[in-house]
Amino acid sequence: MPAWMEKVGTVLKWLVFAVLAIAVIVFLLRGGLRYLANFSQWARDLLAAIRAFFDRLFGRKTEKERIADEPTEPAVPRPRPFSAFSNPFDSDGARRPPAELIRYSFSALEAWAFEHDLARRGDETPIEFAGRLNRELPALGPDAQRLANLYARLAYARAMGLPANSPALLRQFWLTLESVAADVRGAATTLQGAEVAE
């Protein structure tokens, strides 16, 4: 074996030992800092600085950047105002297809709920939304629940078809919604009148 290869081998051997020694020192230092971070602020700060250094060194995002990049809860789009909806059974509801009536009625329910601080959350299914309405507003809840079931069936189980009594359920939903909306308007008017009298 030539002499230069022996020298390269010796240098490589010491280089490997140095890398291993550095790795052991870093491992022990990190473990010790993790332990000390439970008791002292300086250890937490030093550990955070080391972590941030290696994150930047290897192109990873720091914890603050990861938090900033995390998606926030999607904003629920504002539906058109409830006043833009009318009871379809007062005009041409009997002639409209049930699927169209279901979508229209559910949109009206979402608009009414939005205006009364009961908006459907981005992570709620139609049935979960109606269940929450049932708990918070029992007068509307059962009919809203039946509407949500029809809406879910229309959206997710088209092969099952819609029940034959769908138009009757929708007509009842609109009667209940109009009644609840009138009660809420009446209560709001009474409350405003009492405030003005004071």
Asked whether residue 18 carries a pLDDT value surpassing 90, the answer given is yes
Tens of pLDDT, residue by residue over 89-106, are: 887 656 788 888 899 999
- 169 vs 59, 132, 162, CA distance in Å? 58, 20, 11
Q: What is the pLDDT of residue 57?
A: 79
Among 17-31, 85-99, 163-177, which stretch is predicted with the lowest mean pLDDT?
Answer: 85-99
Tens of pLDDT, residue by residue over 55-67, are: 787 777 655 665 6
Separation between Cα atoms, residue 59 and residue 48, nearest integer Å: 16
Instruction: Report pTM.
Output: 0.56
Handedness of CA 109, 110, 113, 114 (dihedral sign): negative
In terms of C-beta density within 10 A (0-12 exposed, 13-18 middle, 19 or more buried), how is residue 182 classed? exposed
Contacts of 110 (CB under 8 A, 6+ apart): 79, 119, 120, 129
